[in-house]
Structure 1
Amino acid sequence: MTYRNIFVNFTDDMLDIHKIINKEVDMKDTATVLNLMYDIANATILHEDVQNLLHSTSEEFDAVIAEWMYSELYSGFAAVFNCPLIWFLSVYPHNMALSLIDMETNPAYTADHIKSNSIPPFTFWERVNELRMLLHWKFYRWWVNDRDSKSFDKAFKAAAMKRSRTLLPLDELKYNGSLMFGNSHVSTGDAIALPRNFIDIAGYHINRTVKPLPEDIKIIMDRATVGVIFFSMGSMLKSSKMPQQIKNGILQIFGKLKQTVIWKFEEALPDLPKNVHILNWAPQQSILAHPNCVLFITHGGLLSTTEALHFGVPIIGIPMFADQFINVNRAVAKGFAKRVDLNYETPENLKMAIEEILGTPKYRERVKELSFIYNDRALQPGSEIIRWVHHVIKTRGAPHLRSPALLVPLYQKLYLDLIFLIIITVLTLIVAIKIVVNKRHTVDIPKKLS
């Protein structure tokens, strides 16, 4: 097997903590999120090296695994190479993604993965709001459909013709996925009904054998007998971009703690408290696996949240982008997390959250319970991936797993035709009864006169 990596460099200043705090960018806005992800996908499929790959007639593949991140443009790879398409969903299953392999889940008990601040069961107005958000997403996707289709044709049409293949429209090809891998597990979210071809693989990125810590970090953690608090905002959002006022406030809070703090930070910080250690790069899984790690302060990405559950460490979530808000809300609802929003009151709120989690055993106990649920599996996620990829290839796209819901128009799913028939029938009966009554009334009048 040959492995080839094509590096596509894409820069965007929208994912800037300072801009998000100052409300210059709203990462929960539908247009903002979809346009950003379109720009990334479009830049990828039109990249020179990617185009060279598509146009090389000597290239052949058994399957294409494409990430669905608010765009179906990558479905064109499977069409050009004439092989099965497998979607990969990096967030918890939600309406837009599930509609590609089955149908939308009911918004009456499914929270919007970006905009919702609610966890089911919903109140009446929360249900109304969830429906409104679903319709808003669908409307905006329809609004930009022409743009996506033009980009799709530009990237893939010529490559398909070069192989004497007819490229179907994007609106058809995007439903050709054999199955969808989801970075999810019931321990991290809600137990909603999922299609047969949706496969949970949360934790696929976690090494089954924990790598040893670098010696300098190991010494720090071994000596931290009161416990270690690990703080990381992930790879996309840089802690160094926080306003200086917030950074200083957080450092003051950390300096008063009896625990050791390891902060993944992208640059050196002056005048560090003795108990605070800065790492430009942090072996996150190895740190969380250490028995002295008592708390994980995170941005709430699903990978980080899953790692916390895997190793049984409670979290404080500071969400910034997309599904991070609902991830943290779910963790709070499940009882192993506290949420702190990033603003100029963050240091004081963070102090109270740290005191609450470390001073209350229930958080540690609850995360251990959920960790057992997460780890109690018949197959490890990596094995699931290998098994299902082979299954899709051997069965030529696994058509037996495709949901019949894809063949049923929306008006039939909602029984709108039946409702229309009932309305017409009732109206017809009402009109017929009125006609009969009017005729009898007309006939009776002369009899009364005589």
Structure 2
Amino acid sequence: MDDFWKKSFEIKALQKFLNDPKEQYDVVIAEWLYTELGAGVSTVFKCPLIWSSSMDPHTTVLSLIHEHLNPAYTFDHMSVDYSFTFSQRIYQLWDSLSMMYFKWVNNAKQNEDFKDIYESILTKRGQQVPHYDEVRYNASLMLGNSDITTGDGIALPQNYKHIGGYHIKDVVEPLPKDMQEIMDKAEHGVIYFSMGSNLKSAHIPNSVKKELLQVFSELKQTVIWKFEETMPNVPKNVYMVPWAPQQSILAHANIVLFITHGGLLSILETLRFGVPIIGIPFFADQYLNVNRAVAKGFAKRLDFDENAPKSLRIAIKEILDDPSYHQRAKELSTAFNDRMVPPGKELVHWVEHVVKTGGAPHLRSAALHVSWYKKLYLDLISIILLGIVGLIVVLRYTLSTLSASIRISKKKVM
């Protein structure tokens, strides 16, 4: 990812933009994606930095504005499980330590990359190149594409702000006329099936496609399948579309189920409109997203393998026959939508707040200025242990001296 950032800074238009002294900005919003090199842009323009995170809050991003989370009760964003068994706690601890080690090892390279990217730009502007840590840990705020209803109730610093759902329109756009008619006429409801933009229909084996069509043909519900190809012998209740207005579909009164890959944007939209899901994750944070949805009671999880069609048939029946999934989705939707202001307006408010307050220093966590050994009280514990050891040595010496003195006195008496 660091190499990607370096390559992107070689783009002529970006170089021209960064090297133009006339360009001035009030704030820089940089997305964290396994590198912090984007933070240097705020140094170029001498303005506050706001981090943006596309996932639920996790220890790697929070360490940029606060400190590492305790792995005993928080999950890594790439975790495929969602339980705190003894073995899972060992895994979470190991994963956390591994990520810390990776960052420590990668720091030297990132320092060099930071200097390579920004040194000439800053020199032309008459600025010195600051230390990399001074830049990446100097953020005023972090905007997280997350919501408490999708994640866990963990303690967060004052300058982490949930803005999950900001991409969802306040007023849902109307459906295309043909799709509106399909959904309106769905007497038994509509099942929407989309695996996002990453998994194309061409990536699904033909045998699995045929089995899925067979499963859908057995349903009395109407199925809308986001599918980029054409297939022969499509059942009458199945409509394949290369593109679908997902938010508008999920907002329709006749939607009864959403089959999804479990991307965070889809999960947020699901909660916005209160629709139960069947999650079929296949990479990155999708496993954790779906596992959380299952734990919260509005989802079933399947694995994407040769048994997926058979498992899907069972999962669809379970969700449609058990009203608790739909009820739980509606309960969480109420919690998701019960806000003082929409997430888009909150996003704008906090960005403006950072600009107005000169970087919002009053929101920053004091944890950034405390060494790791001080956070663990290792210095104090060391002093206490040294004191105890010293006391033991003194007592042993005193008792030994006293004992020797008594023995000498007894010999003299004899």
The runs of at least 4 consecutive aligned structure 1 residues that moved more than 6 Å come to none
Using the alignment, how far apart are the partners of 1:182 and 1:172 within structure 2?
22
Residue of structure 2 in register with 1:190 after alignment: 152
**After superposition, where does 1:167-178 map in structure 2 within 5 Å?**
167-178=129-140
Residue of structure 2 in register with 1:5 after alignment: none
- Contact 1:101–1:180 (CA under 8 A) maintained in structure 2: yes
Provide the identity percentage: 51
2:292 to 322, 330, 341: 330
Per the TM alignment, residue 188 of structure 1 is displaced from its structure 2 partner at its CA by 1.1
- Contact 1:101–1:403 (CA under 8 A) maintained in structure 2: yes
Using the alignment, how far apart are the partners of 2:69 and 2:80 within structure 1?
15
Q: Over residues 288-343 of structure 1, what are the superposed CA-to-partner deviations in whole Å (9 max), with x where a residue is unaligned?
A: 11111111111111110000010111111111222111111111111000111111
- Contact 2:82–2:292 (CA under 8 A) maintained in structure 1: no
Per the TM alignment, residue 398 of structure 1 is displaced from its structure 2 partner at its CA by 0.9
Q: Over residues 28-86 of structure 1, what are the superposed CA-to-partner deviations in whole Å (9 max), with x where a residue is unaligned?
A: xxxxxxxxx44443433333332222122222111111111221111011111111111
Using the alignment, how far apart are the partners of 2:301 and 2:316 within structure 1?
11
Q: Confirm whether residue 279 of structure 1 aligns to residue 241 of structure 2.
A: yes
Normalising by the residue count of structure 1, what TM-score does the alignment of the two structures yield?
0.88
Residue of structure 1 in register with 2:35 after alignment: 71
Residue of structure 2 in register with 1:231 after alignment: 193
2:44 to 55, 68, 80: 80
Per mean C-alpha deviation after superposition, the further-off stretch among 37-46 and 245-254 is 37-46
1:421 to 360, 383, 403: 383
**After superposition, where does 1:17-416 map in structure 2 within 5 Å?**
37-119=1-83, 122-416=84-378
Normalising by the residue count of structure 2, what TM-score does the alignment of the two structures yield?
0.96
- Contact 1:51–1:155 (CA under 8 A) maintained in structure 2: no
Per the TM alignment, residue 389 of structure 1 is displaced from its structure 2 partner at its CA by 1.0
Using the alignment, how far apart are the partners of 2:201 and 2:132 within structure 1?
39
Per the TM alignment, residue 387 of structure 1 is displaced from its structure 2 partner at its CA by 0.8
Using the alignment, how far apart are the partners of 2:3 and 2:285 within structure 1?
19
Using the alignment, how far apart are the partners of 1:154 and 1:220 within structure 2?
56
Change (3 A) 1:164 1:270: farther
Change (3 A) 1:275 1:39: farther
Letter aligned with residue 54 of structure 2: S
Where does structure 1 lack aligned partners over 5 or more consecutive residues? 1-36
SS at structure 2 position matched to 1:177: coil
Per the TM alignment, residue 352 of structure 1 is displaced from its structure 2 partner at its CA by 1.1
Count of aligned positions:
412
Using the alignment, how far apart are the partners of 1:46 and 1:149 within structure 2?
18
Using the alignment, how far apart are the partners of 1:305 and 1:254 within structure 2?
23
- Contact 1:54–1:156 (CA under 8 A) maintained in structure 2: no
Using the alignment, how far apart are the partners of 2:398 and 2:206 within structure 1?
83
Change (3 A) 1:255 1:106: same
Using the alignment, how far apart are the partners of 2:109 and 2:369 within structure 1?
25
Using the alignment, how far apart are the partners of 1:41 and 1:319 within structure 2?
28
Cα RMSD (Å): 1.5
Using the alignment, how far apart are the partners of 1:87 and 1:269 within structure 2?
44
SS at structure 1 position matched to 2:37: coil
Change (3 A) 1:226 1:61: same
